[in-house]
Every structure is written in structure tokens, then in C-alpha cells.
Amino acid sequence: MASVTSKRKLDHLKICASKDVSFKEKTTLLECVELGYKALPEISLDNVNLSTQFLGKNFSFPIVVSAITGGASASKKINRDIAVACQSLGIGMGLGSMRAMLEHPSVAETYFVRDCAPDIFLAGNIGAVQLKEFSVEQIGEALDAIEADALAIHVNAAQEAVQPEGNVDFSGLVSKIDEISARLGKPVYVKEVGHGISFEVASMLKETKISAIDVQGAGGTSWTTVDSLRHKKGFGSAFGEFGIPTAVSIIETRNALQSSGKKIIGSGGIRNGIDAAKAIVLGADMAGLALPALKAQQDGGAKGVEALLSNLINELEITSFLLGAKSISELKALPYVVTGKLHDWLKQ
């Protein structure tokens, strides 16, 4: 019999694959970022090399497929298809929350992808509230079982608050995050799930021993919408547009983490290579996406995911070429112009 956690994960998958779960009005505000096109870039597109290193692993391109699933019956094929595509392209991926695996070790196989993706960066995942339920040793053993390189701790207060069964005791979690970051022996990063990281939260996390923050800002998938659809009573629908737009979240996190050496993943509504380039120009080290990869997997399996990601990577390379940037470091150093709502937000 499926556990309550596994059933919830399966419900989430079905809703994300079949329903419109995007923000309806709020956008990423990446459309308010203008990049300086160079009609004479003075480089060859063939010389654009966007390879990079993130948390000790080499990436051919600065792209991570963010955590999607794990623990449900359908999770195994989804994770393996995405892993095969990531292995082919030399990029990384995150796995869904390991809570189901920690509660029921029999579902561990739904997370295991190392046999088909031996070289990629692979992140395990646990909710911040679960740090009170499971020990560092238990989480470390789970990471070892799936041969993960790092741990992502997801912070999802908005989502938990609209779940009837949600855990809304978020007290004392910064110290818990600091503890596991110090003791785990593998890199740890903190990620939102689609509602953004603020300057204040990033500033608190700067003082911990985490290695990175994945902002997962508003404008892509709304997890408050996902859970309001799941229990079908409309509860939580008022929070469907709640959160900090991705562009704002990247900039605020960049400003908070200055001189810390901590990395940033810019994600939340990244839908093409231009979005990814803008995220990096604004201060991210990597760009992430999730829902498009799930949709591509549902439509075309591993080949569908690879086609989607290959297209995004090609767009990212062309954008870099059109900006005259041959590398990630050159891309990150480029100037940009902020307009509209993003300008208003940052000004205030």
C-alpha cells in the first residue's frame, strides 16, 4: 500500500503533468531585463564555451534540472529518463524529496539513477521541516544509498501552509540547516520551490555553512496552486500568486551573499536560453528548470527531455554569442538595463 507521502507525490505529478499550475498574473520579471545586443560580437559562436564547475562537479553547461519527483510509483521512469538526458548533455539534476524514502526504504529504487547517469551532478533533497524528524546520519545514509553528490534542503512555507496536512512549524530551522551543513560531509544548498528567496532570508542563510541558494522565484510553477488543486476545495487558491519574482529574488540573493563565496541557482519560470542567460547576467551561477522537463518526459521520454534541454542550451549559447561573451565569467560581467515593474521593485 502506498504511504501518505508517496500518494501525495503521485498526486503532485498528475496535477503538474495535466493542469495549468503556472502563475497567472505574476511573472518572473525577467522580461524587464534588457541585454546589450552586439551586432559585431567580435567572437565566433564556435568559441563560446559555457562549461563550469558547481559544488565540486564539472558541467558542460550551467544548467540543472531541479527536483521533480521521488517515492511514487511513476517516479522511477521519470527520474531515469531525465538522468539519461542530463548524462548525455553533461548537466546536473536534483531528485525529489527523500522523505518518502526515509519513511519507507522500499521506495529507494525510485530515486536511484546512478547506473544510467554515472557522471552527472546529482542532488538529494529533503524538506527543511523534516530536519526535525530525521537525523543527520539518517539523511546522510539516504544520500549515500542513491550516490548523491549534494543535499538540497527545500524551504516551502507557502506550500506547507495551504496543505491540509502541511507542517507549518518553521521555527529554529536556520540552526538546523547550519548544523547539517557543518556535519554532513557533502555540499548542502537551500532551495525554494517556486515562491522565491528574499534578501532577508538570503542574509540569514549567508551566516550558515551552506554552499548555495536556489532561489526558485515566482513566475513559473505555483506550488500553492498545485496543492489547492489537489484537495479540490479551493483552500489556498488566494495564495496562487504569492511570492517574489525570479529576477528580484536573484538580485536580492546576489546582494545578500556578496563576498561569501556561496553560489546561486537562478530558477523559477526559466523557459528558454535567453531566460537562462538573463539569470546568469543578474548574478546566478547556474540556471534551473523543472516543469518543462517533466512535460517533455511525459511527451517523449528521455529523448523528449534531451531535445528540450538541447534547444535551451543552444539558445543560451547563441545569446552569449550575441552578447559577445565566450564564457560564464564574461557573461556574468555584462551590463544590463532594468525596466518596468522590476525597476520599480528594486527602487523601493
CATH topology (fold) of 4-347:
TIM Barrel (3.20.20)
Can you state the percent helix, strand and coil of the chain, rounding each to 5?
45, 15, 40
What pLDDT, on the 0 to 100 scale, is given for residue 49? 98
What pLDDT, on the 0 to 100 scale, is given for residue 229? 87
What pLDDT, on the 0 to 100 scale, is given for residue 233? 63
What pLDDT, on the 0 to 100 scale, is given for residue 12? 87
What pLDDT, on the 0 to 100 scale, is given for residue 8? 79
What pLDDT, on the 0 to 100 scale, is given for residue 1? 34
| Domain regions of the chain by residue span | 4-347
Query: What Rg, from alpha-carbon coordinates, does the chain have?
Result: 19
Give alpha helix (H) positions in the chain: 4-18, 75-89, 99-103, 136-146, 157-162, 173-183, 199-206, 223-230, 246-256, 273-282, 291-322, 328-332, 340-347
- Alpha-carbon distances of 158 from 52, 183, 190, 243, 305, rounded to whole Å: 33, 28, 15, 8, 29
One digit per residue, the tens of pLDDT, for the chain of length 348 reads 346 777 877 888 889 988 899 999 999 999 999 999 999 999 999 999 999 999 999 999 999 999 999 998 899 999 999 999 999 999 999 999 999 999 999 999 999 999 999 999 999 999 999 999 999 999 999 999 999 999 999 999 999 999 888 899 999 999 999 999 999 999 999 999 999 999 999 999 999 999 999 999 999 999 999 988 887 666 778 999 999 999 999 999 999 999 999 999 999 999 999 999 999 999 999 999 999 999 999 999 999 999 999 999 999 999 999 999 999 999 999 999 999 999 999 999
Residue 298 φ then ψ, to 5°: -65, -35
Residue type, 262: K
In 3D space, the residue among 190, 91, 101 whose CA is nearest the CA of residue 140 turns out to be: 101
